[in-house]
Structure 1
C-alpha cells in the first residue's frame, strides 16, 4: 500500500512538478514566436578564428524555440584545426538533409536563445580528437533525408550524443534536457554509457536508467530526465535541466 502511494508521489515530484513550473516560467519569457523573427546571430562566445590560432573543440546547447523550449535543448559540435581561418560547425536539423555543416554561426543563438557551453578542449588534445570527430560525423547512421524525428529521435541531440560516444575523451554529458540523447533504435540496450564511465539500460530511449561518473545518475521517462550530477553536484530535472554547481567546462 505504501509503495503504491510512494511511486505516484515520486513521479509527481521528479517529473510533473518541475515540468509544470518551468512551463509557467517559460510562458512569461519574451521568446520569439516565429523562426523568421528570431535572433540567430553570434552570441560572441568564441574569439574570431583568425585570433584563435590553437585547435579547439566545443560542444554547445541552447533552448529550442516556442513551446518546445519548455523541455528541450538543441546541441551541436564546433571544431577548428590549428591555424584555420574559420570554425566548422556540425549539427542536425529537421528539414532536408539532416546533417548540416556551418548551417549557423559557430556560437550562434538558437531561436534567439543563448548557447551554453557543454564542453571545451584546446591545444594538442583537441588536435588529436578533431579527425575522430570528423569521422564520427561521417558515420552518423541517420544522415539521409526523412530519418529525422524530433521525438524520441534520432534528432540533433542523438547526433551529438553519437559523436560524444565515438569520442569519449570529450568526457562530458549533454544537458538532461537534450531530448533524444538516449535514443536507441535497437530496442533493449544494456551496456556502457557514452563516456564509458558507467552503465546504462534503455528501452528505445523511452525508458531507462543511467549511472556513470560523467553522466551521473539519470532516470529517463519518455525522454524526460531526472537525476543527479555526481562530478559537479547538481540536480537534473525535466524542464529546468541542471540546477547546481557549474560543470568543469562552464567554470573554466
Structure 2
C-alpha cells in the first residue's frame, strides 16, 4: 500500500513539474490586471483588404494568470472569400458563469493577443479548402454539446470546444498541443476520433486516457495532463511546457505570454 501511494505521489510530482517550471521561469504571471492587458493583433492574420481568398486559421495562446501554467486558450478565425473581416469562434468561461452560451461568435481581431499572451497559428486552410470548411466550422460551433457548461478542469472548456470543431473538419489535421488542457474531455463518451482526424482516442471523463494518431503521435492523459511522443516529428510533449522538438523545428509551439493581460477571468481557455 505504501509503495502504491509513493508511486502515485511521484507521478503527481512529475506531472506538476512542467507547470511549476513555467511559473518559476516567468513564462506566466500569477498576479495579472486583466483590465489593462494587451489585446492588440500580432500580424499573423492575412489582411482581408489584400487577401480576397477564403481563410481559416486556428490559434492558441497561453491562458490568463495561473491557468497559463497548465493550458492554452484556442480559437478559430474564418474569413469567407471576398469578406472584409474575420469571424472568431471560441468558448469563454465567464459567459457560461453568467448564464450565457459559452460559445462566443465575434468579429474581434483574429490574431489578437489573449490578455497579453501572443498567439501562434496551429493550423490553416486557404482558398477552396477554407471555403468548404467555413460553414462546417459554423455548424460544429452551433452544435457544440457543452454550450451551457464550463469547467476549467477537466472540462468542458475552450480546448474541449476546439477538439469538437476539429473533429468536424478533419482537413485541418489539428494537432492540439499538450497544453490544451481539456481537449480529451468527451463527456460521458469513452471513444472518439482524435482531433486531427488521423487516429482515435479513449478517455474517461477527461481524467485518464490514451490517444493514438498519425498527426498527434502517442499521448497519455493522466488527471487531464498530457504526456506524449510524436515519432514522425521527433518531439516529446510535456504538461505545462508543451512540445519539445528533439531534432530541428517541429510544428508550432505555444509561446510564453508577452506582458500582462485583460478581460473578465476566463479558464484555460
Give TM class, smaller chain. 0.7 to 0.9
Residue 195 to residue 40, structure 1, CA distance change in 2 (3 Å): same
Counterparts in 2 of 1:232 and 1:219: CA distance versus 1, 3 Å: same
Using the TM superposition, give the Cα deviation of residue 48 of structure 1 relative to its aligned residue in structure 2, in angstroms: 2.1
Which 5+ residue runs of structure 1 have no aligned equivalent? none
Does residue 143 (structure 1) correspond to residue 144 (structure 2)? The answer is: no
State the match for 2:261 in structure 1: none
Following TM superposition, by how much is the alpha carbon of 1:13 offset from its aligned partner in structure 2, in angstroms?
A: 8.0
- Counterparts of 2:31 and 2:106, CA distance in 1: 23
Matches within 5 A, 1:226-241: 226-241=227-242
1:246 and 2:250 aligned: yes
SS at match of 1:119: strand
Q: Give the 3-state SS of the residue equivalent to 1:26 in structure 2.
A: coil
Equivalent pair of 2:191/2:202 in contact (CA under 8 Å): yes
Query: In 2, are the aligned partners of 1:32 and 1:65 still within 8 Å (CA)?
Result: no
Aligned pairs (5 A) from 1:75-86: 75-86=74-85
Residues 198-229 of structure 1: CA deviation (Å, up to 9, x unaligned) = 22111001101111111211111111111112
Structure 2: which 5+ residue stretches go unaligned? 255-269
- Taking the TM superposition and a 5 Å limit, the aligned residue runs for 1:169-180 are 169-180=171-182
Instruction: Tell me the TM-score normalized by structure 1.
Output: 0.87
State how many pairs are aligned.
Answer: 245
Deviation at 1:77, TM superposition (A): 0.3
Matches of 1:113 and 1:220, distance apart in 2: 25
Greater Cα shift, 240-249 or 220-229: 240-249
Residues 161, 7 of structure 1: alpha-carbon distance in 2 compared, 3 angstrom cutoff: same
Which residue matches 1:161? 163
- 2 CA distance for matches of 1:32 and 1:116? 23
Residues 158-183 of structure 1, C-alpha deviation per residue, up to 9 Å, x if partnerless? 11111001111111211110111111
Q: Deviations over 1:125-164 (max 9, x none)?
A: 11111111111111111223xx122211111111111100
Contact in 2 for aligned 1:56/1:123 (Cα 8 Å): yes
Q: Which residue of 1 aligns with 2:222?
A: 221
Structure 2 length-normalised TM? 0.82
Higher relative contact order (CA 8 A, sep 6+): 2
